[in-house]
Amino acid sequence: MTNTKLIVSHAPFWHNGDTLFQQNLNFIIALIPAALFGILHFGAPAIGVLTLATSSAMLWEVIMSVLSKKKMAIGNMESAVIGLLFGMMVPATMPWWVVITGTFIAVILGKFVFGGTGGNPFHPTLVGIAILTMSWPAFLDFDTAYVSYQFDFTALAPLVALKSQGTSALASFSNYDLLMGNEVGGIGSTFGLGIIIGGIYLMLTGYSRWEIVVAFIAGVLITATIFFALHPDAYAPPLFHLFAGYTLLGAFFLAVENSSSPVNRIPMLIYGFLGGFMVILVRNIGIYPDGTVLAILLINLINPLIDIIRPKALGKGVSNA
């Protein structure tokens, strides 16, 4: 009888050859159209903010790896994606120290406190944005940020205008203008068409789950349609909500973050739909003009509860199996 030692490891048992570096590199590629438009739209200051946000996030990664004596993981480009997304969500006039503070919060508090790569229950970028919004809301006031800019369109943040002026503000914005980026907002969050192109690229390459994206958009459109149908004089139509603010960025890039989203199909659909539902609920009933950040953080929070809904194990419930 041979003395064979069997070693059993945890799943996954098969590797498809993909890496975190490839995944994050594809995320960066997908973000390029919207980021380039932001640079063309808001000028040289946008380059500075995007560069500082990305580089400082990577620097915080290195510093924390050294201090915690963990293996250096900067090569997987996760911190670069966190920083780039952060830069795309803030105005081009954001002061340098606020950018650095935001990436510090995103990488240290949003990622490393929970164990690093794969351990974060919330999207790190959104943790940074949310805390900055509560601490220094003036720096995320897009109307004030671009007061010295000259645009050939209505230089108002659409959702802020809707919240302060009511539905009369809708006349200043067309769906086409919003889709093509003729609005003020985050550097990389205004060009809806570019975000859609990048998001479709991620879904086609398998780096983004279509179930979450489709369900999130459906949640936004269905909920906004119900509000609009009941009180068209008080609430904006669904396409306005879809193309304004962080909605598309949230659907295609933020809600699909692997560590903070479900892995099973039915939970993905529930998770995405609840996210879209909460976006409209916060915008129409809450005090914040754009509810995308809070909505995604909330579904990140309930993700573990949703993800327990899973297919029945093979053979379970079968007699004599």
Rounded-to-integer distance, Cα 72 and Cα 206, Å: 26
Per-residue pLDDT tens digits for 54-66:
999 999 999 988 8
DSSP state of 289: S
Per-residue pLDDT tens digits for 256-311:
998 889 988 999 999 999 999 999 999 999 888 998 999 999 999 999 888 888 76
Rounded-to-integer distance, Cα 43 and Cα 146, Å: 11
Residues 124 and 165 in one domain: no
Instruction: Report, as an integer, the average pLDDT of 73-93.
Output: 93
Residue 145 lies inside a defined structural domain of this protein: no
Residues 169 and 212 in one domain: yes
Asked which of 90, 108, 138 is the last residue of a domain, the reply is: 138
How large is the C-alpha radius of gyration of the chain?
A: 21
How many domains is the chain partitioned into structurally? 2
pTM of the model: 0.90
Nearest alpha-carbon partner for 292 in 264, 252, 263, 237: 252
Instruction: Identify the domain containing residue 239 by its residue range.
Output: 156-308
Asked which of 107, 138, 169 is the last residue of a domain, the reply is: 138
Instruction: Report, as an integer, the average pLDDT of 206-212.
Output: 92
In the structure, what pLDDT confidence band is assigned to residue 5 with cuts at 50, 70 and 90?
Answer: low
Per-residue pLDDT tens digits for 145-165:
999 898 888 888 999 999 989
Residues 171 and 134 in one domain: no
Residues 107 and 189 in one domain: no
Residue 30 lies inside a defined structural domain of this protein: yes
Residues 53 and 80 in one domain: yes
- Exposure of 56 by Cβ count < 10 A (0-12 exposed, 13-18 middle, 19+ buried)? buried
Per-residue pLDDT tens digits for 112-123:
888 777 778 999
Instruction: Report, as an integer, the average pLDDT of 202-214.
Output: 94
